[in-house]
Amino acid sequence: MSGKVWFITGASRGFGRLWAEAALGRGDRVAATARVLADVADLSETYGDAVLPIALDVTNARGVQSAVSWTYTHFGRLDIVLNNAGYMLVGAVEEAHEADLRAELDTNFLGTFRVIQAALPLLRRQRSGHIIGVSSVGGIVASPLTGLYNASKFAVEALHESLAQEVMGFGIKVTLLEPGVYATGFASMTSLRISSRIDAYDAIRDKVFAAGSDLAFGDPQATADAILAIVDAETPPLRLFVGSEGLRRVRAVYADRLATWEAWDAVSCAAQGEVHPHDIPS
């Protein structure tokens, strides 16, 4: 079989499941991972040997290493590493416990990091491969009550931006997917974690939840062609907004950031101080 070989985390539902099925449906092979094996094992009934279901908790470093190695051994190569596993912690910064933040980062950021580190030696040996991280519009713009989730995705963004520059010479491509809001169940109580509550934040909570009820959720099925186009591109972008929300939202945010930096530029430059020639390395 000549199709691409994928390794996908969080393939039990939502985007991970949908993209796994899109890849399998066109003849690619997929290692579909989920914390509970039964949640991905049923894919074998439809796709047979083209799918390798694997039980994987991305917070388990040894398990990640084993799953990636097993995929490579089983299929004989590894073309696309798609880090999709993650969840959202909802709560104001003051409301969250440190343990909540550690757990969020352990899955969303460190889980991604572990998979990338396990895959890189294999991809370097091949001199090919495509590492894809699922970030979010929330990886660029933070919102009230999701600051801890935003922090995890900001970290994912920085990790991939640096990685892309490091591995370019090995023939390895890197892409960040930045979805807006979709009807994937990601915002359901099975995917969300809610921090403890402080009454002082009830007003902002009510405002945020009221605004959320007016959001236009995208159709997850419509994303499959975009993802396949990215993995087939000779020169894929480092970043891709998935859906129509991202660019429109970010235009306004970045315009405001640039205006603020410009307005305070004199103060910034004064903070540089006077540079003396002997301070400059030769």
pLDDT in tens, 81-90: 999 999 999 9
pLDDT in tens, 6-30: 999 999 999 999 999 999 999 999 9
pLDDT, mean of residues 246-251: 93
**How high does pLDDT run on average in the chain?**
93
**pLDDT score for 193:** 84
Report the DSSP beta bridge partners of residue 192: 88
Rounded Cα gap, residues 277 and 281, in angstroms: 9
Instruction: Say which CATH superfamily domain 5-246 falls into.
Output: NAD(P)-binding Rossmann-like Domain (3.40.50.720)
pLDDT in tens, 133-151: 999 999 999 999 999 999 9
Phi, psi of 26 (to 5 degrees): -105, 10
pLDDT in tens, 91-147: 999 999 999 999 999 999 999 999 999 999 999 999 999 999 999 999 999 999 999
Name which residue leads in pLDDT, 20 or 183. 20
149 tagged catalytic: yes
Q: What share of the chain is helix, strand, coil (3-state, %, to 5)?
A: 55, 15, 30
**pLDDT score for 147:** 96
Report residue 214's pLDDT band, with 50, 70 and 90 as the boundaries. confident
Q: Which of 47, 72, 149, 182 is catalytic?
A: 149
213 tagged catalytic: no
Rounded Cα gap, residues 15 and 52, in angstroms: 18
Rounded Cα gap, residues 236 and 119, in angstroms: 19
153 tagged catalytic: yes
Report the DSSP beta bridge partners of residue 53: 32
Q: pTM above the 0.75 mark?
A: yes
Q: Which of 4, 12, 47, 135 is catalytic?
A: 135
**pLDDT score for 278:** 67
